[in-house]
Structure 1
């Protein structure tokens, strides 16, 4: 499917590697100007080079999502320069540790919740007015099967992703009568650094490449999306509707 995102402004968090990197690249290929956010300056610079190589453009914003003041300022900066935001891809997140709940250090649990949940809420609050100014605002929130499986030893990450999905569904309900469409995406097992951290003995060559995941996500940024508040899972490079319990 070919999507024309010319003159669209897209914000991607966690854009220095993995799914965020390749989603930013796909958005740029489709014509969007990408605002790329991440902690790693080197990764952002590599992304900028890749985007320029395909004829696209990007603005690099290196900062840590734990910096709430920076998130608050981001919305204002986007408004001053572009006056709107067409696409949000909230991708950044941290795993924490794989450990029994009672053994997780407080600082680790708090970091997972800060980066995965509080920063997502703060980001929503910062850019919602900008998405509302767009003709067809689109928000894509990255989730995980961990939100539903709640496997032993995955407590902090599972809880954080369940909370993120709840935020997305609530936000979608609140904006249902507007042009803004909000979707959550479980990308499934993907060849990323986070996956390697969680599953150190796994052969990465058996997993889908984040480039394929990004290409599957891209249609959700398009103006033809009509549904909101849905969770999609990626299976065999296809978006599958996950039926939420009422």
Structure 2
């Protein structure tokens, strides 16, 4: 029970990889704070968490509502006084289209969720991580941040910016007990993957749970890594 009595917040937890990480953290004893846009999805994850013997606090939240993010830290401080773990998982693919065809408002939307919302979460929640004896943060990224693909401009640019933001944050916290790392799962059967590769069939890729244990490793208070990119698909599940 590596996360016993630890408070762990996961964004984008109502489905896909976030939901799988929630179940993995619950199995390790964490009390979860789960955010997502879909209340019904969060309640389904909550049922799975309780079935695994865990507990969760559900916060339906659209991360594009910046003012709501700004109040999240204060609300969690009132309830828990600290955060021991943070998984910044929420993200959007955006359209697969030539860069020259990207509408400004569409690029702004993708950057808004994948980068700007993450920044606001960091601003709001960093004090809670510092209040923990050994706060751990994991920022979920993807290969296009470093391996650009034609027509993936919005997603690739947002993930590249996200990685730069996370690495700077990790450097700033290196003299504190907080540790920040990037985690890159491999291909997996999520809705985002289905949008990107509609020709794939269910079962062609591993389930998100295949990579969730790697996130738990990075949330473990015994983990001392900081500012690293951890490719979860390079290690056994």
TM-score normalised by the chain length of structure 1: 0.94
- Which position in structure 1 is the counterpart of 2:190? 192
Deviation at 1:237, TM superposition (A): 4.6
CA deviations 1:22-60 (Å, max 9, x no partner) are 101111111111000000111100011111111110000
Q: Name stretches of at least 5 consecutive residues in structure 1 with no aligned partner.
A: 240-246
Partner Cα separation in structure 2 for residue 204 and residue 129 of structure 1: 41
CA deviations 1:92-145 (Å, max 9, x no partner) are 000110000111122211110000000001001100010001011000000000
- Which position in structure 2 is the counterpart of 1:242? none
- Which position in structure 2 is the counterpart of 1:205? 203
Partner Cα separation in structure 2 for residue 128 and residue 26 of structure 1: 23
Partner Cα separation in structure 1 for residue 175 and residue 214 of structure 2: 27
Deviation at 1:203, TM superposition (A): 2.7
Q: Name stretches of at least 5 consecutive residues in structure 2 with no aligned partner.
A: none
Partner Cα separation in structure 2 for residue 176 and residue 70 of structure 1: 29
- Which position in structure 1 is the counterpart of 2:133? 135
Alignment of 1:28 with 2:26, yes or no, is: yes
Q: Secondary structure at the match of 1:232?
A: strand
- Match for residue 66 of structure 1 among 51, 64, 67: 64
Partner Cα separation in structure 2 for residue 212 and residue 74 of structure 1: 30
Partner Cα separation in structure 2 for residue 152 and residue 12 of structure 1: 31
Please, which moves more after superposition, 227-236 or 174-183?
227-236
Deviation at 1:216, TM superposition (A): 2.4
The question of whether the paired residues in 1 share the 8 Å contact of 2:184 and 2:233 is answered with no
The question of whether the paired residues in 2 share the 8 Å contact of 1:173 and 1:229 is answered with yes
CA deviations 1:174-206 (Å, max 9, x no partner) are 010111111101112111000000000023312
Structure 1 vs Structure 2 CA RMSD:
1.1
Q: Secondary structure at the match of 2:53?
A: coil
- Which position in structure 2 is the counterpart of 1:169? 167
Deviation at 1:208, TM superposition (A): 1.4
- Which position in structure 2 is the counterpart of 1:6? 4
Q: Secondary structure at the match of 1:35?
A: strand
